[in-house]
Amino acid sequence: MARFRLSRPAHADLEQILVTSGERRGDDARRRYAGLLVTALRKIADDPEGPVTRNREDLLPGIRSLHLRHLRHDRPRSVGEPVHVISYRAIQAEVIEIVRVLHERMDPSRHIGAVHGEPEE
């Protein structure tokens, strides 16, 4: 299993997602969503090119993504309709960088380039 590390924007994304989840749906829902996110990060670390992941070379070389909806049934107290996509890439052998965690309605091309020095629009 590979290790993973969070980019600063991904860390901020996760913090905001959990704050918003708690505000809108309460602490129990926030904890369940956090658990789903942890499950997703472990799945990515375990199998970065797994069958439920997607190649996103159109965004940046080496970028892949995983939509949380593919994992909602992996947890006993699952989340109804997960709406976030984790974008990541292998940066070394056995090290996965979580680049961003974005809402499915967000255009990743507007946010992922900013991680790597390109301005966000």
Give the pLDDT confidence score for residue 118 in this predicted structure: 41
The predicted model scores a pTM of 0.87
What pLDDT shows up at residue 11?
A: 97
pLDDT tens digits along 9-68: 999 999 999 999 999 999 999 999 999 999 999 999 999 999 999 999 999 999 999 999
Calculate Rg over the CA atoms of the chain: 14
Overall number of domains in the chain:
1
What is the domain-level CATH number for residue 55? 3.30.2310.20
Minimum mean pLDDT range among 19-23, 75-79, 86-90: 75-79
pLDDT of residue 86 exceeding 80:
yes
| Ramachandran category for residue 106: left, alpha or beta (phi over 0 → left; psi -120 to 50 → alpha) | beta
Specify if 7 maps to a domain: yes
Q: Are 102 and 114 contacting, i.e. CB atoms less than 8 angstroms apart?
A: no
Q: Running DSSP on this structure, what letter comes out for residue 121?
A: -
